[in-house]
A and B are shown apart, each in its own frame.
Chain A
Amino acid sequence: MEVYLDNSATTRCFDEVAALMTQIMCEDYGNPSSLHRKGVQAEKYIRYAKDVIARNLKVNEKEIYFTSGGTESDNLALRGCAYANCRSGRHLITTQIEHPAVLQTMRHLEEEGFRVTYLPVDEKGCIRLEDLQRAITGETILVSIMHTNNEVGSLQPVAEAGALIKRMNPHILFHVDAVQGYGKFRIYPKKMKIDLLSVSGHKIHGPKGSGFLYVDEKVKIKPILFGGGQQGGVRSGTENVPAIAGLGKAVELVYSNLDQDMAQMYRLKKAFVEGVRKIPDAVLNGHPDETGAPHVVSVSVKGVRSEVLLHALEDKEIYVSAGSACSARKPQPSATLRAMGIDQELLGSTIRFSFSVFTTMEEINYTLQTMYDIIPMLRKYK
């Protein structure tokens, strides 16, 4: 049985998404900027996708900008806003557990003369609002906090943070990287005081190379790519029509049955977590219950290197992720796990299981049984 439990890395495309994209690539392949009928037809797909997304977020259509994915959305949000607003101040705030797309962009901005504060997290992987409050200064122009952590699935207090930030200074911009949270939760930027929201298509059964950035219409932002002036000049480049249409379709499908789907995912998570608890010396990281994301379970299996467990599971056709890419030659323990203060010994033994709407209870049981079978053997040789 093939069991794909690496849905935080990427997901299988919905069939309808793939079919729609094929049709657009082979038949309705016009350039949306063209003046003729083919162009108009292509533009319709973009409008439709934008409409779906805008309604889903309860925002205005013109506040949606399509990008190549999460990394570009994060780059555009952070660099675009930092440069556009640097006259009001040069201080930025983020967390220690962000995705590299945010962390590395922040590092780049530091080189460009911005000052960045990285908020610590508690042992479960959540920031504390007191820390955020203390970090905000008169110089602060932007705060960036992820919605759902990609490694342990911890949920950040995004709505509370938004309220706090705006209470302290309504001019500070609030960016949320929702690459892992979108498609699992209902996110309403206006209510949550979010000014910018990054989303990736391939994490929600859409195509790779698709994504969007929501930008509140009041936000000043500068482009990071220059060219033909598409999408109001904020994001030049011929729109990737098949990917945009695929993304729209994926959003439609993922939210069509969200409550039941999430309830089912939490049932899977509960069963899996209970099963993992039976493995001696296996530690569950983050929130292994309904206070964490429904689709991510992070487990440290004492005495087994994560890469070895990963390949042993792969041998049984179970595909997971190593919580931290760690090898004897080049140890790179993950920033998230370190920030959570995970035991040094467990850092290199952490595996991430992540589910999707395609995951079944049968697959969960097969995975647990396989772990019971192989872990004692792997522990014998370390």
Chain B
Amino acid sequence: MFRAFLIKYAEIGVKGKNKYLFEEALAQQIKYALKRCEGEFKITRTDGRIYVHALSEFDYDETVDNLKTVFGISGICPVVYIEDEGYEKLAAALVAYVDKVYEDKNITFKVHARRARKNYPMNSMELNRELGGAILDAFPQMRVDVHHPEVMLHVEIREKIYLYSMEIPGPGGMPVGSNGKAMLLLSGGIDSPVAGYMIAKRGVKIDAVYFHAPPYTSDRAKQKVVDLAKLVSRYAGPVYLHVINFTDIQLYIYEKCPHEEFTIIMRRYMMKIAELIAKQNDCLGLITGESIGQVASQTVQSLAVTNEVCSLPVFRPLIGFDKMEIVEVSEKIGTYETSILPYEDCCTIFVAKHPVTKPNLNVIKRHEQNLEEKIEELVQKALDTDELIVAKWT
């Protein structure tokens, strides 16, 4: 029975003169999400509203599920259209709508009519009153409550007449593409895909970098990261994933620096390389899945030492999250199952038994001098291995 969806958006409604940019980005993302749905759709923007119209048969549940992945949408209202064939037909249609959608009639309601077409013979107040009366006549158990109705019956008079009353919550946030682009450091773990999801939710487009360390990490580990990027792209749009061969740098650090400092120095080089790739690709920030104190390399001291190599801002959306909270989000967005596949990743190899937890920047820098001879050449070589994979949800 539903032929269209009214898309409600919260935050982008208040963006002043930039509003059209946000709306355009939202329409674009809706289009991307609907591409994977059966059926043909048209997106229209009128009077500050976005509608998705079905032009053919479509799968209602599938369409709603996909609209729920579009950041910027606060609510999805399924809409019934009827032709304007006079007030009597309208009243009958509204009564039929209520009968079908609300099995339990023991509810309070209010009719809220709106006329986009002002030449309709009745005004909004009259419509509210008359339609309310028609419903009360049909279903005596229903009661009117004009202040806090359980059900708000919207009647919009346009070319056709739109009826809607349900609002399915959307994911909120802002449409991807409305807030620039950032580079996500994507490992195979639980945290980094969640971090990418959260920053994408604020409208940021995501590129990603993965550090591959063959033969210490396998092609399966790499495939796992590609799969994770695909899962993130369900919400964030296509993700450009850069795969960098990091083995030689790791081995060189392992050879030249104290073992307890291996992880922290490696992290510094990962950030450095990520920043170089970010800048080449117009990214305005880096994103990591770090959370204070989770592991030795994520103590406040370690984060400070890692952060020191970057000039771009580093976004760490999970910084105050507990592991359980992160797991909860990863389960919600469907990355958890993939994240826990047991393949080695570049952060779990060569790890010292007792890594430093309170690194001192000066000491770390002094030990990094051991790398002076070859490191620049190795970084350049690593950059040359950049393999670009476009991860797309289909």
- Assess whether A315 is interfacial by the CB under 8 Å rule: yes
Q: Are A329's CB and B342's CB within 8 A?
A: yes
Q: Are B342's CB and A308's CB within 8 A?
A: no
Q: Are A311's CB and B350's CB within 8 A?
A: no
Q: Are A381's CB and B254's CB within 8 A?
A: yes
How many angstroms between the C-alpha atoms of A327 and B343 in the bound complex?
7
Q: Kindly specify which of B47-55, B214-222, B267-275 makes contact with the partner chain.
A: B214-222
Closest A-chain residue to B217, C-beta based? A311
How many angstroms between the C-alpha atoms of A327 and B344 in the bound complex?
6
Shortest distance in angstroms between B361's beta carbon and chain A's nearest beta carbon? 26
In the complex, per-residue mask of B313-353: 1 if CB is within 8 Å of any chain A CB, else 0: 00000000000000000000000000000111000111100
Q: Are A307's CB and B251's CB within 8 A?
A: no
- Assess whether A328 is interfacial by the CB under 8 Å rule: yes
Q: Are A328's CB and B348's CB within 8 A?
A: yes
Q: Are A311's CB and B348's CB within 8 A?
A: no
How many angstroms between the C-alpha atoms of A314 and B217 in the bound complex?
12
In the complex, chain A residues whose CB is within 8 Å of the CB of B214: 311, 315
In the complex, chain B residues whose CB is within 8 Å of the CB of A327: 342-344
How many angstroms between the C-alpha atoms of A308 and B351 in the bound complex?
15
Of B342, B348, B351, which is in contact with the most chain A CB atoms at under 10 Å from its CB? Answer: B342
Contact partner of A314 among B215, B344, B348, CB < 8 A?
B215
In the complex, chain A residues whose CB is within 8 Å of the CB of B343: 327, 329
In the complex, chain A residues whose CB is within 8 Å of the CB of B216: 308, 311
> Quick one: which of A293-323 are within 8 Å of B by CB?
307-312, 314-315
Q: Are A328's CB and B344's CB within 8 A?
A: yes
In the complex, chain B residues whose CB is within 8 Å of the CB of A330: 342
How many angstroms between the C-alpha atoms of A309 and B216 in the bound complex?
8
In the complex, chain B residues whose CB is within 8 Å of the CB of A328: 344, 348-349, 351
Shortest distance in angstroms between A77's beta carbon and chain B's nearest beta carbon? 31
Contact partner of B215 among A315, A329, A380, CB < 8 A?
A315
How many angstroms between the C-alpha atoms of A380 and B254 in the bound complex?
10
In the complex, chain A residues whose CB is within 8 Å of the CB of B349: 328
How many angstroms between the C-alpha atoms of A159 and B295 in the bound complex?
56
Q: Are B215's CB and A311's CB within 8 A?
A: yes
> Quick one: which of A352-382 are within 8 Å of B by CB?
378, 380-381
> Quick one: which of B171-230 are within 8 Å of A by CB?
214-218
B residues contacting A by CB (< 8 A) are 214-218, 251, 254-255, 342-344, 348-351
Can you give 10 contacting A-B residue pairs, CB < 8 Å? A307-B344, A311-B215, A311-B218, A312-B215, A314-B215, A327-B342, A327-B344, A328-B348, A329-B343, A381-B255
Complex A-B, nearest 5 residue pairs according to Cβ-Cβ distance, in ascending order: A311-B215, A330-B342, A312-B215, A328-B348, A329-B342
Q: A327-B342, A328-B351, A330-B342 are in contact. List 20 more A-B contacts (CB 8 A).
A: A307-B218, A308-B215, A308-B216, A309-B215, A311-B216, A311-B217, A311-B218, A314-B215, A315-B214, A315-B215, A327-B343, A328-B344, A328-B348, A328-B349, A329-B343, A329-B344, A380-B255, A381-B251, A381-B255, A381-B350
